[in-house]
Amino acid sequence: MISLKFNFASRAGFVFAAAALAASAAFAGGTHGGGHHEESPIGEPGVAAKVTRTIEVDAADSMRFTPSNVSVKKGETIRFVIKNSGKVPHEFSLGTEKELKEHYEVMKKFPTMEHEEPNKISLKPGKQGEVIWRFTKPGVVNFACLHVGHYEAGMKGQVNVAAN
């Protein structure tokens, strides 16, 4: 009989790797050559050369984004410049409410997770960064800080995408 023992760190690392692999597979799914293409309900990564305007967003320790409501038009490519004016880490994550809630549950398990996806950015205190996003469908796109406690404290907002 073979006995395998895993310490907690190994299991946590495995779970993280599995979650990361599943997330990257889900994000990439349907966009490979020759396959089906399923458009995201929130849009697609933008191209810097096609930015139509820049929106500055402040992420503060009051657990609020300013502005928390933004209006854009379908087809616009927006450069969000996010500044963490606080003393704790924050992030800016675009998604559907369902996607954000699901990712928040992962963040609770891995609170030091940082992001490199095109619709998210993690920012240390005093730092700034950007997300360039093209909004392809009318409706509401949500954004939030998914650090533990921040989402529940109300650190979220909406992008209202007009049909044109």
Q: With a cut of 50, list the residues of the chain below it in pLDDT.
A: 1-37
Query: Are the C-beta atoms of 127 and 84 separated by less than 8 Å?
Result: yes
Q: What residue ranges define each of the domains in the chain, with the CATH number in brackets?
A: 42-162 (2.60.40.420)
Q: How far apart are CA 34 and CA 77, in angstroms?
A: 26
pTM of the model: 0.76
What pLDDT is stored for residue 38 in this prediction? 59
Annotate 131-150 with DSSP letters as a single string: EEEE--SSEEEEEE--STTT
- pLDDT of amino acid 7: 40
Strands (E), 68-155: 69-73, 77-84, 90-95, 120-123, 128-134, 139-144
Q: Do the beta carbons of residue 123 and residue 59 sit within 8 Å?
A: yes
- Residue 85 CA to residue 145 CA, distance in Å, equals 14
C-alpha–C-alpha distance, residues 14 and 8, integer Å: 10
